[in-house]
Amino acid sequence: MLSVASLAPAALQARLAGDGLRLRTGRFTVRLQADMPSVAAGIGQLYGDYPLLQDCDFADFHLQLRRPRSARRWLRPQVRLHCDGYEMFQPMPLQHAFPMFEWGLNWCVSSRAHRYLIVHAAVLERHGRAVILPAPPGSGKSTLTAALCGKGGWRLLSDELTLLELDTGLLVPNPRPISLKNASIGIIRAYLPDAVLSTPVRDTSKGTVAHMRAPGDAVLRAADCAPPAWIVFPHYSAGAATTLEPLARAATFMELAGNSFNYSVLGAPGFHALGRLIEQAAGFRFRYSALDEALDTFARLNES
């Protein structure tokens, strides 16, 4: 199967501007249409390893990034996001088009893929066992995720959405670019000098945003599920000592349910899936400030 990298930049941009590009990420296929050079550049830079499907192949989601036909097309230009013909979100400045695609695809998965229990969390695997990292924005989750898969030997399954199969209890990969914000962009540039990062986009609702390309191995192994072994709630605190403290199962259950997108939608199947996950995976609170110490802590956890 051809990959996105098989398209020359001009051909990639033409396909996006025309009938669209069918892109597979894990178990989902998105058809993306966009006539913005910044989107074509972002797809070419960050999605080169991903399978490129044919125009006749089924797509789970149909996303269109459009510039308005009004004066906004030229005066303080904007972009609008449509999913299956319906507009999503408020219009954003044109320079926010690529992050808008990433956020829109996250929304599609989290609001529609109810065959999984979906948790707002990163998930990585090493030596056949996976760790789930649920955390609110600003906790250092994505910074830690980038370091773990970029230098720590962990395979990226997802940076934003943990997908738990209801029947098997396995974690389903959905590897996509890692979203870095504000100070974490510079931290990861310095810590992982060979990592591929997109050009930072300023003044978004989340501050300055850049995306880090997912490791090629994570993309190639997007069909390989993993059993959960740990649930670690990370928190970055400047100057803090590195600590990993066990968390009671009841507290782990409640916090994980609070981080789930569709726990209440699923009802009893969601309750049973979450209960089984808590029985399989040990819970911890993790505080850190130094990435090297964080990686050492996770290496020891993986050896236990």
pLDDT for position 72? 60
286: how many CB neighbours lie within 10 A of its CB? 25
**Mean pLDDT across 173-193:** 97
Which pTM does this prediction carry? 0.95
Report whether pLDDT(135) > 90: no
> CA 11, 42, 148, 51: dihedral to nearest 10 degrees?
-30
Work out the percent of the chain whose per-residue pLDDT is above 70: 98
Report whether pLDDT(69) > 90: no
**Mean pLDDT across 19-38:** 95
Give, in order, the Cα–Cα distances in Å from 184 to each of 177, 226, 230. 15, 28, 24
Position 70 confidence tier, pLDDT thresholds 50, 70, 90: low
Report whether pLDDT(214) > 90: yes
The answer to whether 30 and 4 are in contact (CB under 8 A) is no
pLDDT for position 251? 97
Residue recorded with tokens 């978004």 = 204
Position 74 confidence tier, pLDDT thresholds 50, 70, 90: low
Report whether pLDDT(73) > 80: no
- Burial profile 122-143: b = 16 or more Cβ within 10 angstroms, e = fewer: bbbbbeeebbbbbbeeebbbbb
The closest of 49, 51, 52, 53 to 217, measured between CA atoms, is: 49
Mean pLDDT over the full length of the chain = 95
Q: Specify the DSSP element, H or E, that contains 44.
A: helix 37-46
**Mean pLDDT across 168-190:** 97
Work out the percent of the chain whose per-residue pLDDT is above 90: 89
Position 1 confidence tier, pLDDT thresholds 50, 70, 90: confident
Q: How far apart are CA 304 and CA 301, in angstroms?
A: 5
Q: How far apart are the first and last CA of the chain?
A: 39
Q: Which amino acid belongs to residue 275?
A: G
User: 219-264: per-residue pLDDT in tens?
Assistant: 999 999 999 999 999 999 999 999 999 999 999 999 999 999 999 9
**Lookup: tokens for 226:** 């993993």
Report whether pLDDT(25) > 80: yes
pLDDT for position 209? 97
